[in-house]
Amino acid sequence: MARDSSNDHRSTERCADVIFIGGPVVTVAPGAPEAEALAVTGGRISAVGSTSDVMQLKQARTEVVDLEGRAILPAFVEAHGHPFEMGLSLAPPAVDVRPFIVPTAARVWQKISDAAKATPKGTEILANGIDPLLQTDLQLPTRSQLDVLVPDNPIVIVSNSGHAAYANTAAFELAGITKDTPKPTGAQFVHGADGELTGEVLEQAAIMRLTVPFLKVVAAHAHTNVRWAYDQLAQAGIATASEHAYEAGPQHALLTKLAQEPDCPLRIRAYEIGTPELANDPANAASKRPGADELFAKIGMKLWADGSPWQGNIFTTFPYLTDATTARMGLGPHHHGGMNYTPEQVSELASAFVEQGWQLSCHVHGDAAVDVVLDAYEKADASPALRSRVEHVGAMRPDQFERAAKLGVTPSFFMEHVYYWGDVLIDELFGPDHGAQWMSAQSALDAGLRISFHNDGTVTPPNPIGNIATAVTRVAKGSGRVLAPEQRIGIDAAIKAATIDAAWQLHLDSDIGSLETGKSADLVVLSANPRTTPPEKLRDLQVEATFLMGRQTYGEKLV
C-alpha cells in the first residue's frame, strides 16, 4: 500500500523542534501580553499559548526547554546601531577609554601611555571614548600635549560622543592634513589664534579624513573585529541592529560575508551616509525591501543636521548655561550651537533620496534643528509609508512630536543620555527647565508616535534592558534624581520600543518584534519577567540567552 506523503507533511508541520515552557512568554502581541508556552519549528514560531495546547506539538524529536521561571521575549532590536564602528573602534588593537571602562583622567592617560609603550615605534594608535563630562577631571588634549605623551606613534583619540577627535602632529602628517587643508562640508579642523592646528577636529567628515590611515591598519582585522561587535550585541539580547553609518565601499563585502556565515548572530539593516554624489546617482534607487530571512540589506539613507550636546554643537532655541563646564568646552555666553549642514543642504538631500524611494533617517538633537529637519521632510513630501526617522532627538518638544506624527515621521530615542548624563544635562549644560525634559518619550507617545530606543554603537554599551529601565524610571545614575517624572513611560510601552516598534521602524514588524505564530523565532531569555519586576530593579535583569531565527547565538546552551 502506498504511503500518504501529504499526511506525513502535515505531521512534520505539526511537530515542533523546540517547546519552551515553565516561564512567562511575553508576547508583545495585541490582546495577549503573556502566554505559558511557545513552540519553534524550522526557525519560526509555530505556536504560542497554554502549555497544554502547545505541548500537542511535541513528538519524539522535540526538545522541551524548561525556563524555570525565566521569561522569554522577542529578541531586542537596536534601531540605531554602529556595529562596524564598534568593531573598528573598540575591539583590539583599539584602546577603549570610555568612562564606563576608565572613569578618571589619570587612568585614561595611563592606559594610553601604556599602549604607546607596547606599540612598535611608528605604528598607529587609535583610542576611543574620552568624555570630560563624565571623566570630570579630564582636560581635552592639544596636539602639542599628545606629541609629548605619545612621541613615537601617530595617535588619534575619538571622543565618546563620536563627534570630535584629538590627534598629535604625526597623525595629522600621516593623514596629509595641514593648517591650510580646507574644512570638509559639515565639519572642521580646529585652528588656534595663531592659525595652527590645535589637534581637535569636529564631526564625521573631518574625523574620517583624520583616521583613514588608521582604518587601513584596522582593516586587516576587520572581519574578526566586526564579528566581535556582533557578539557583543547578541550578548545584550539583540538579534537585529541597524548600521547607521553605512558606506558601501568599505563595508558591503564584509557585511555581506558575515551575513552568509552559518553562525551569524545578527541581522543588519543599513542606512547609507547620504552624500550629494549618491543623491545624483540614478543607480542609487530603492528596491523591494527584503524580509527577515535576509540578514543584511540596505534600507535607507542617513543625514545629519546638528552635532552632539557634549560637544556644544547642537542647534537649540535655548542657550547652554554659562558656567565652568561650558567654559571648559570653549562655549561663550548664551551659546545656542548651530547646524553642521545648512537647511538647504538637508532639504536638497532629503528630497533627492525620497525621490529615489528611500526611507530617511536624520541625526538631530536640538529643537531648532528638529524644525529644520521636519521642514525638509515636509518639503520632500515623504510618504508616511517610508517611515522617515529622526535620531536621538534629545531636545525635541511636544509640539514637534505632534508635527512629526502628522508628517508620518518616527523618533528613535537615545534614552541612556538620561541615565549617564542626567545630572550633567541639568547642572552643567541646560538647567532644569530644558535638561530635565531631555528625551521626552511620553510626549512622543501622547502624540501617537511609535518610538524606539538605541545605544548608538560605541557611545554607551549595548543594553536594551538599561534603555527600558531608564524610560520607565528616568533616574540619573549619579544623583539618583528623577528627570521630569511626567515623561516616564509604562513598562509595556518601553518593551515595545525595544522590540515591535523598533522592528516597525526597520520595516520588519511583519516578521519580528513580537511572539506570534508565523514570525521569525528571534527570542531573548531574561532572568525574570520585566512586566512584573519593580521599576528600580529592571536594570538588574540579565540576558541569559539570545536566538536568531531559532538558532541560539548567546548564552549557556538551551537547545
For the record, the C-alpha cell of 149 comes out as 605623551
Cell numbers 504511503 correspond to: 3
In the predicted model, what is the mean pLDDT of residues 366-374? 98
pLDDT value of residue 352: 98
Domain positions in the chain are 5-69, 83-219
On the question of pLDDT at 8 being above 70, the answer is no
398-407 vs 367-380: helix axis angle to the nearest 10?
10
Three-state DSSP state, 359 = strand
In the predicted model, what is the mean pLDDT of residues 512-519? 98
Cell numbers 530635565 correspond to: 436
Give residue-wise pLDDT tens across range 127-153.
999 999 999 888 889 999 999 999 999
On the question of pLDDT at 36 being above 80, the answer is yes
Please report, for residues 38, 75, 254, 494, 524, the alpha-carbon distance to residue 24 in angstroms, rounded to integers and kept in the order given: 10, 15, 38, 18, 12
Q: Which of 191, 181, 190, 112 lies closest to 152, judged by CA? A: 112
Cell numbers 534603555 correspond to: 467
- Position 471 confidence tier, pLDDT thresholds 50, 70, 90: very high
Contact predicate 26/495, CB 8 Å: yes
On the question of pLDDT at 219 being above 80, the answer is no
- Position 6 confidence tier, pLDDT thresholds 50, 70, 90: very low
More confident: 125 or 316? 316
pLDDT value of residue 319: 97
On the question of pLDDT at 5 being above 60, the answer is no
One fold for 5-69 and 83-219: no
pLDDT value of residue 250: 87
The H or E element spanning position 503 is helix 500-505
pLDDT value of residue 2: 32
Least confident of 130-139, 281-290, 361-370, 451-460: 130-139
For the record, the C-alpha cell of 300 comes out as 535607507
Please report, for residues 53, 137, 192, 428, the alpha-carbon distance to residue 64 in angstroms, rounded to integers and kept in the order given: 14, 54, 67, 54
On the question of pLDDT at 10 being above 70, the answer is no
On the question of pLDDT at 198 being above 50, the answer is yes
- Most confident of the following: 101-115, 151-165, 211-225, 472-486: 472-486
Contact predicate 305/346, CB 8 Å: yes
pLDDT value of residue 555: 98
- Phi then psi for residue 213, to 5 deg, are -65, -30
On the question of pLDDT at 7 being above 60, the answer is no
Sorted by sequence, the CB contacts under 8 Å of residue 451 that are 6+ apart come out as 410, 411, 412, 413, 441, 444, 445, 497, 501
Three-state DSSP state, 266 = coil
Sorted by sequence, the CB contacts under 8 Å of residue 79 that are 6+ apart come out as 242, 412, 452, 453, 454, 502, 505, 506
- Position 64 confidence tier, pLDDT thresholds 50, 70, 90: very high
pLDDT value of residue 13: 56
CA distance 88 to 94: 7
On the question of pLDDT at 1 being above 50, the answer is no
Centre a 10 Å sphere on the Cβ of residue 22 and count the other Cβ atoms it contains: 15
Contact predicate 478/99, CB 8 Å: no
Select the CATH number that applies to the domain covering 5-69 from these four: 3.30.420.40, 2.102.10.10, 3.40.50.300, 2.30.40.10: 2.30.40.10
The alpha carbon of residue 147 and the mean position of all alpha carbons in its chain are separated, in whole angstroms, by 33
Report if pTM > 0.75.
Answer: yes
125-130/155-159 β-pairing: parallel
On the question of pLDDT at 40 being above 80, the answer is yes
Average pLDDT value for the chain = 94
In the predicted model, what is the mean pLDDT of residues 203-221? 82
CA distance 505 to 452: 8
Question: Percentage of residues in the chain with pLDDT exceeding 70?
Answer: 98
pLDDT value of residue 328: 84
155-159/164-167 β-pairing: antiparallel
- Phi then psi for residue 94, to 5 deg, are -65, 155
Cell numbers 505564530 correspond to: 517
User: What sign for the dihedral angle of Cα 381, 304, 389, 253?
Assistant: positive
- Phi then psi for residue 411, to 5 deg, are -100, 150
Please report, for residues 3, 13, 141, the alpha-carbon distance to residue 6 in angstroms, rounded to integers and kept in the order given: 9, 11, 72
In the predicted model, what is the mean pLDDT of residues 282-309? 96
83-219 is a CATH 3.10.310.70 domain? yes
User: What sign for the dihedral angle of Cα 503, 504, 507, 511?
Assistant: positive
CA distance 40 to 558: 13
Cell numbers 515552557 correspond to: 21
